[in-house]
Amino acid sequence: MKKILIILFILISFNWACESDKEFLDRPPTQVLTTEQAFSDPAQVLSIVANLYSRQFNLYRLSDYRTVGDFNEAFYARDQGIASQYHTNSTWDFRGVDFGGNNFSWTTWDYTYIREMNLFLERVELATIRQELIDRYTAEVRFLRANYYFELAQLYGGVPIILESQEYDFSGDPSYLQVPRSTEAEIYDFVIQEAEALKSLLPTDPDSKSRATKGTALAMKARAAIYAASLAKYNNAVTPSVSLPSGVVGIPASRAEEYYNTALTAAKEVIDGTAGAYSLYLKNPSDLSENFAAVFYDKNANPEVIWADDYLLKYRTHYFTGANQPRYGAEEEEGGALNPTLNLVQEFELLDNAFAPIPTTDANGDPIYYDNQSDIFANRDARLGGTVILPGSTFKSRPVDIWAGYQLADGTIITGTDRGDQRILPGQTVEQQVVGFDGPVAGAVQNAQMGFYLRKYVDPVPGSGQRGVQSEVWKVNYRYAEILLIAAEAAFELGQPDVAAGYINQVRTRAGFTIPLTATDITFDRIVHERRVEFAFEGQYFMDLKRFRIAHEIFDGVTMSKADLLADIGKATNRSTMPWGLWPYRIYNPGSPNDGKWIYKEFLSNQVTAADNWQLGNYYSLINNDILSRNPKLVKQPLQ
């Protein structure tokens, strides 16, 4: 009886199972949205757009401090391995610096991203949301796609332009999916045309910083046109061997003028306010250095920023501040990863528009004694203090403590082997501090080994240097100052130096210069120099090195002596093959009037053993064998 009951029970339960199985197989999955579902809800569509925004590619990324400091603009003081990677190798790989894991600094080849943007553009047309939203999202994603192609163009020259989602038909012959590289001119033309079309499709909203607007499209157009123009002009004039006969690399020189005109027109549209009211950031005119630093950390109604890769505390943060903060009293026991070099610091002019080395010695070669540490940097471009934390300045209301040791009357140096070390000075009985708590200490890591810390993009908000909090400072992609300098460069190249002077002077006035440059002052060197100091550590320098074809002259592989360092400041092709530092010393000479004063010495770290050598093949990033073998229609880069 019991058995029968059990058997019956089992049979019944089988019945149940059979019935619900059918339904079970037809049940829609709860964790995957179908295309129709994803494109029927405005919030879902927006989240896809947000995903595409978050994947925008920047060569200089705040999420990885290593991307920011190459080319001897900074010394890598994070650890010995990274220092030796940057400063004991004279050549760059054709893909830049090896970050490990087959990841190199000058590469991106994310056609998955392009395909997903293409898919979005095809699917959003059929979306069942308001038409105005469809139009806006379409314009934004088209902008992101053009922006990504622009990044590819800067690294590789011509690349395959694919504007539809490709599908494989499993016929065994994938050759119809293999697109050859466009010419370098075509890809810049594509970016310029897209920007031109998008400027009327995107909203005019200068307060929107993280989403594409009309201003963003015009800024991209201006930058793409000026890059194409200078590539056309200088590649043919300086490095004609860096080209391919098919034009995949190399833009005909005849197109330079047209591109310069395009750049000037686009820049003027922004300056004239057709995209809304943008202006140079000037909320703090009494302290122009602080004002310049605030361009990057002040996210409250910032009139200068046109487009930024935005961050938000708790949701999307980066550790740039933690990596680079001054070490003494830092919020974590780390910092000082990037030390700006004297090579860059001395490029900031005196306020009378003259280039001069940082004055360490007088005409007789004797050291100059300074009462205060910061006196040596007096009367310089205010952007210096906004870009670099100088000895004698403060960060987060705390004075930085940068000094390398005591110098005695006979020239002997007394210093320590660790930050803030103590020694007994002659004639004393008690140990006292002989080196700054921020360094510099030769050979030690994570201190001001060049005598400076980085200020730009380093967040002054409390907690930003903590691993658990991090920073929400945004990475500025386009700002109004660049529009002005693009206009200045284009006007100069088109033979209107007076117009150029007008634009460049606006940027310089904000930096504290009171004597305007005249038309005769505007030279190629001036244009290149102004961009180098204004956009230091922002990313433009990499492309400036390439598009003006000056990199192989700046990094010519020749060891850089102190005389080399101090010569030719302000010249576009000034040699910068090794990172030099500037070390402050305190005078210990009781009874002498110089006691307690400061002297400075130029310093070359013994960790720097190689003089950088840019090969002509470095002007375009390597397309690696893996990519080449997948698509036989791709041609290799020149001189590689």
Partner 1 sequence: MKIIFQYIIVLAGALAFMSCEKDNYEPPKSQLTGKLMYQGTPLNFQYNRVSYELYQDGFGKTGALNSTFTPEGEFSQLLFNGTYKMVVPRGQGPFLWGSAADSQDTVVINVNGNTNMDFEVLPFWMIRNPQLSAGSGNVTGTCSLEQIVTDANAKTIESVTLYLSKTVFASSDNNIAINTIEGNAITDVNNISLNAAIPTLVPAQNYVFARIGVKLAGVDDMLFAPVQKLNL
Q: How far is the CB of 172 from partner 1 (least distance, A)?
A: 15
User: 237 burial class (0-12, 13-18, 19+ CB within 10 angstroms)?
Assistant: exposed
CB nearer to partner 1: pick between 245 and 365? 245
Q: Out of 133, 162, 282, 628, which residue is the one contacting partner 1 (CB under 8 A)?
A: 628
Does 428 bind partner 1 (CB under 8 A)? Our answer is no
The four Cα atoms 373, 378, 383, 385 give a dihedral, to 10 degrees, of 20
Does 606 bind partner 1 (CB under 8 A)? Our answer is no
Q: Out of 629, 631, 633, 634, which residue is the one contacting partner 1 (CB under 8 A)?
A: 629
CB nearer to partner 1: pick between 413 and 558? 558
Q: Out of 165, 284, 615, 631, which residue is the one contacting partner 1 (CB under 8 A)?
A: 615
Distance CA 70, CA 59 (A): 12
Q: Out of 204, 208, 265, 640, which residue is the one contacting partner 1 (CB under 8 A)?
A: 640
Does 210 bind partner 1 (CB under 8 A)? Our answer is no
DSSP string, 569-606: TT-TT----S-EEEEEEEEE-TTSTTTT-EEEEEEE-T
3-state SS, one letter per residue, for 218-241: HHHHHHHHHHHHHHHHHHHHHCCC
Does 239 bind partner 1 (CB under 8 A)? Our answer is yes
Distance CA 86, CA 105 (A): 12
Stretch that binds partner 1, among 237-245, 371-379, 581-589, 590-598 (CB under 8 A): 237-245
Does 442 bind partner 1 (CB under 8 A)? Our answer is no
Give the Cβ contact number of residue 590 at 10 Å: 11
Stretch that binds partner 1, among 335-343, 416-424, 531-539, 625-633 (CB under 8 A): 625-633
**Strand 431-433, strand 422-424: pairing:** antiparallel
CB nearer to partner 1: pick between 398 and 630? 630
Extended beta strands in 357-463, E state = 388-389, 394-395, 398-399, 405-408, 413-414, 422-424, 431-433, 453-454
Q: Out of 161, 253, 611, 631, which residue is the one contacting partner 1 (CB under 8 A)?
A: 611
Footprint of partner 1 on 74-93 (CB under 8 A): 90-91
**Strand 405-408, strand 398-399: pairing:** unpaired
Stretch that binds partner 1, among 146-154, 438-446, 468-476, 553-561 (CB under 8 A): 553-561
Distance CA 476, CA 305 (A): 7
Question: Applying CB under 8 A, what is the total number of residues that bind partner 1?
Answer: 25
Stretch that binds partner 1, among 18-26, 284-292, 337-345, 614-622 (CB under 8 A): 614-622
Does 638 bind partner 1 (CB under 8 A)? Our answer is yes
- Inter-axis angle of helices 480-493 and 524-534, nearest 10: 170
Q: Are the CB atoms for 610 and 88 separated by under 8 Å?
A: yes
Q: Which of 104, 260, 236, 121 is nearest to 188 (CA)?
A: 260
Does 631 bind partner 1 (CB under 8 A)? Our answer is no
Does 409 bind partner 1 (CB under 8 A)? Our answer is no
Contacts with partner 1, residue ranges (CB under 8 A): 90-91, 239-241, 245, 557-559, 610-611, 613, 615-617, 625-626, 628-630, 632, 636, 638-640
